[in-house]
Chains A and B, each alone.
Chain A
Amino acid sequence: MSELARLRWKCRRGMLELDLLLRAFINGGYAQLDAAQRARFDQLLDYPDALLLEWLMGRIRPTDKDVVQLVDKIRAAAAP
């Protein structure tokens, strides 16, 4: 529970776009991740905002296959 709380705060970013995408994901798709994927999500949040934005807006594909998978899940969780 406290781990989820920590990550929830880590999803507070400097850009509205990231706030909305990450908040939707931590309240939704995150619950379905396995332990390894959750650790990867934690690592993803260490990347700087400008790079995260490029990835999550679909402008640049990450080179790491696992990161690509996670980015796709976050994008899918963005509710219209």
Chain B
Amino acid sequence: MEKRSFDTLIIGAGGGGLRAALQLSQAEARVAVVSKVFPTRSHTVAAQGGVNAALANVLPDNWHWHMFDTVKGSDYLGDQDAIEYMCRAAPRAVYELEHFGVPFSRLETGKIYQRAFGGQSRDFGGEQAVRTCAAADRTGHAILHSLYQQNIHARTHFFDEYFAMELVQNQDGYFLGAVAMNIADGEPILIEAKTTILATGGVGQLFRTNTNALVNTGDGMAMALRAGIPLQDMEFFQFHPTGIAGKGMLITEGARGEGGYLLNGDGERFMERYAPNAKDLASRDVVSRAIATEVREGRGVGPNRDHVLLKLDHLGADIVKKRLPGIRDMVMTFLHTDPADTPIPVYPTAHYTMGGIPTDRHGQVVVPVQQGAEEPVPGLYAVGECACVSVHGANRLGGNSLLDILVFGRAAANHVIEQLKEQRYHQPIPGDAADVALERLARWNRQGKGESIAALRAQLTKAMEDHCGVFRNEDVLQEGQQAVLALRERLQDAYIDDHSQVFNTARIEAMELENLVDTALATVSSALARRESRGAHSRIDYPERDDQQWLKHSLFSLEDLKMDYKPVRMKPLTVDSFPPKKRTY
């Protein structure tokens, strides 16, 4: 098997991976980035909103106010040391991007334009803040392309269209790189590294209706799980109430803001029953749960009664065309109908994974050791949506995800640079280091007849949507966990027909499904265990937040499907702690 050696291996070429790679390459480290798709096709391109930073270009602002909003938004599950670090580092992260060539929109004064976003306040919960820096509606795209160009310039080595299969570690638990497969010819390669950074993004593909690109299958989270690392806070998954049913693309709140409203299969404007005052403009979780409840109780729309309708036609063609042009283009493209004439079929859509691989604020992966405090895992880091630092806690604020990848991509790289100074040589790789990955590859090359990968994936994502989506209680989650376990068993008996070596997408999709099944199990098991409602995790049977019992992080391990817990880091770095309060907006 081919073997290559680098100082640092980064798996994933979204904004987090590329920010880390750039920092390392500029420090003269030898860096390899493995990406299953061409780097500029990573999901960061889809981020439209922007980056939060208290630059105070439009209205007075302060990193401490940003910190308060992030802690409150997290429903007090975010780690306050990491949140302080991120909010303080935010202005610098934005100025660095500007230096890298990101064309931020400008104010007339020439300063960087900032826009208002939900959940942001001045003076610790006061008036609306204006904090989000944007490059038109293409912020993620601009960031990703700038970082990629900078990395090419800094001579980062890219393994484009390579699929990472398994992490490599020695007997002492030191991580030494990974085994990947060249998708173009099916050949495995061992990439040896003194440090490995996981930056593989979220796992939106767990749910049938989601906003994520198809690449978001939680590959890094699943590799970490299989290597014995627990996943943290996986029950917290952000949903938007209105995605196009059966497709997933987001219809923004703006559509209801303009006067659109929801109808069930009986033609009833059902939000009046759930939220008599706010109706269709009630908070996201209320609207999401109302839609799921209507469908569960048989009042859905369509042949399978599996969605509801968003009605806009009463607004008139002019308003729809002028105020909601993006939504109209999208609906006309995918449904071949005009929302000015025909209501849009919608269902809650999964958007962002708050949980992930547990790390400290340096991006080091950390695990609990016996009964004591947690300790860093030697040689392994994680950044971005695949990681759980945790700055988003139980719920992420808009504009904080791009900030997360930039700040912690850089922080992890800086920590790695220090580590590398003390480690000049590679540790020996055990002779059997690649065996697990090679066995996995061989398993999908076996001939046989069994269940199809596509069918199992459809059943998994439907089970997750029905049993671990926005409507959660003990029974529903129990059934969900059983369904995922059953599918995991059945995956053992699945085969693929295509055993070719060149761009064998069937084999990649089979391995992606293995990753989805393991992360699904982490998600549904963590949700079943947490008997409270907090942030994005909302239980019908435990509707209140319970700080006495549950102000703690969940940790799910694949071995024996064990749940463990650890305290939230309530102590910031330099300022006073924000104690839990009832969250109202």
Q: Which of B210-218, B422-430, B462-470, B560-568 contacts A (4 or more CB under 8 A)?
A: B210-218
Question: In chain B, what residue has the closest Cβ to A46?
Answer: B38
Known interface pairs A2-B503, A5-B503, A20-B247; A15-B330 also in contact (CB < 8 Å): no
Please name all residues of chain B whose beta carbon is closer than 8 Å to the beta carbon of A56 when the two chains form the complex. 333
- In the complex the two chains form, is B335's CB within 8 Å of A13's CB? no
Question: Does A49 make an interface contact (CB < 8 A)?
Answer: yes
Q: Which B residues lie within 8 Å of A42 (CB)? A: none
Contacts of A48 in B (CB 8 A): 40, 45, 141, 145
We find that the number of chain A residues with CB closer than 8 angstroms to chain B is: 28
Give Cα A12–Cα B41 distance, bound, in whole angstroms.
8
A16–B502 Cα distance when bound, in Å, is: 25
Query: What residue in chain A is nearest B201 (Cβ atoms)?
Result: A14
A14–B329 CB distance below 8 A: no
Residue in A6, A8, A23, A78 whose beta carbon sits within 8 Å of that of B333 in the complex = A78
B207-231 vs A, Cβ < 8 Å mask (1 yes, 0 no): 0001111110000000000000000
Q: Does B282 contact A (CB under 8 A)?
A: no
Q: For B211, what are the chain A residues with a Cβ–Cβ distance below 8 Å?
A: 16
1/0 per residue, CB under 8 A from B, across A46-71: the answer is 00111000001111000000000000
Known: A78-B334, A80-B337. A14 touches B183 (CB 8 A): no
Instruction: Determine the chain B residues whose CB is within 8 A of the CB of A49 once the complex forms.
Output: 40-41, 45-46, 141
Instruction: Indicate whether B89 reaches chain A with its CB closer than 8 angstroms.
Output: no
Question: CA–CA, A19 to B213, complex, Å?
Answer: 7
Chain B hits for A78, CB < 8 A: 333-334, 336
Instruction: Say yes or no: B505 contacts A8, CB within 8 Å.
Output: yes
B249 touches A (CB below 8 Å): yes
Taken together as a complex, chains A and B put the C-alpha atoms of A63 and B332 apart, in Å, by 22
Q: Chain B interface secondary structure, helix, strand, loop or mixed?
A: loop
How many Å lie between the Cα of A15 and that of B213 in the bound state? 5
Are B249 and A16 touching (Cβ within 8 A)? Answer: yes
Give B237-252 as 1s and 0s: 1 = Cβ < 8 Å from A's Cβ atoms. Answer: 0000000000111000
Q: CA separation between A10 and B161, bound complex, in Å?
A: 9
| Complex Cα spacing A58 to B334, Å | 11
Chain B positions 431 through 442: 1 when the CB is less than 8 Å from some CB of chain A, otherwise 0: 000000000000
Provide the residues of chain A in CB contact with B183, threshold 8 Å: 9
The answer to whether A5 and B336 touch across the interface, beta carbons within 8 angstroms, is no
Is A20 a contact partner of B334 (Cβ separation < 8 A)? yes
Closest A residue to B137 by CB, please name it.
Answer: A50
The answer for the CA separation of A23 and B214 in the assembled complex, in Å, is 10
CA distance A5 to B161 in the complex (A): 13
Q: Mark B489-519, 1 if CB is under 8 A from A, else 0.
A: 0000000000010111100100000000000
List B241-281 residues whose CB lies under 8 Å from chain A: 247-249
Cα(A15)–Cα(B502), bound, Å: 24
Is B42 part of the contact surface with A, judged by Cβ < 8 Å?
yes
Contacting A at CB under 8 A, from B2-38, are 36-38
With both beta carbons as reference points, the residue of chain B lying nearest to A20 in the complex is identified as B247
Whether the Cβ atoms of A17 and B249 lie closer than 8 Å is yes
Question: Which residues of chain B are within 8 angstroms of A10 by Cβ–Cβ distance?
Answer: 38
Known: A14-B213, A57-B333, A75-B333. A2 touches B45 (CB 8 A): no
Would you call B41 and A13 a contact (CB within 8 A)?
A: yes
- CB of B456 to closest CB in A, whole Å: 18
Q: Which of A16, A18, A23, A80 contacts B212 (CB 8 A)?
A: A16
Asked if B333 and A21 sit within 8 Å, CB to CB, the answer is yes
* A16 adjacent to B40 (CB under 8 Å): no
Interface check B138, CB cutoff 8 A: yes
* Cα-based distance from A20 to B213 in the complex (angstroms): 9
Q: Decide yes or no whether B184 CB sits under 8 A from chain A.
A: yes
Q: Is the CB of A16 within 8 A of B214?
A: yes
Contact B184 A6 (CB under 8 A): yes
Q: Give Cα A23–Cα B210 distance, bound, in whole angstroms.
A: 16
Any A CB within 8 A of the CB of B44: yes
CB of A14 within 8 A of CB of B44, answer: yes
Which one of B138, B161, B333 lies within 8 Å of A9 (CB-CB)?
B161
A23–B454 Cα distance when bound, in Å, is 14
Binary interface encoding of chain B residues 325-358 relative to chain A, with 1 for a CB under 8 A from any of its CBs, else 0: 0000110111111000000000000000000000
Question: How long is the Cα–Cα vector from A5 to B212 in the complex, in angstroms?
Answer: 23
Query: In the complex, A49 Cα to B140 Cα: how many Å?
Result: 11
Alpha-carbon separation in the docked complex, A75 to B335 (Å): 11
Asked if B43 is at the interface of the complex by the 8 Å CB criterion, the answer is yes
> In the assembled complex, which residues on chain A have CB atoms less than 8 Å from the CB atom of B46?
14-16, 49
Q: Name which residue of chain A comes closest to B215, CB basis.
A: A12
A-B contacts besides A6-B502, A16-B210, A17-B249, 16 pairs, CB < 8 Å: A5-B502, A5-B503, A9-B503, A10-B38, A12-B41, A14-B41, A14-B43, A15-B45, A16-B46, A16-B249, A49-B41, A49-B46, A59-B329, A75-B333, A78-B334, A80-B336
Chosen A-B contacts, 25 in total, with CB atoms closer than 8 Å, are A5-B500, A5-B505, A6-B503, A8-B505, A9-B161, A9-B183, A9-B508, A10-B38, A12-B36, A13-B41, A13-B213, A14-B44, A15-B45, A15-B46, A16-B210, A19-B214, A48-B40, A48-B45, A48-B141, A49-B45, A49-B46, A56-B333, A57-B333, A59-B329, A80-B335
Q: Which residues of B contact A (CB under 8 A)?
A: 36-38, 40-46, 138, 141, 144-145, 161, 183-184, 210-215, 247-249, 329-330, 332-337, 500, 502-505, 508
Closest 3 CB pairs of A and B: A5-B503, A14-B45, A2-B502
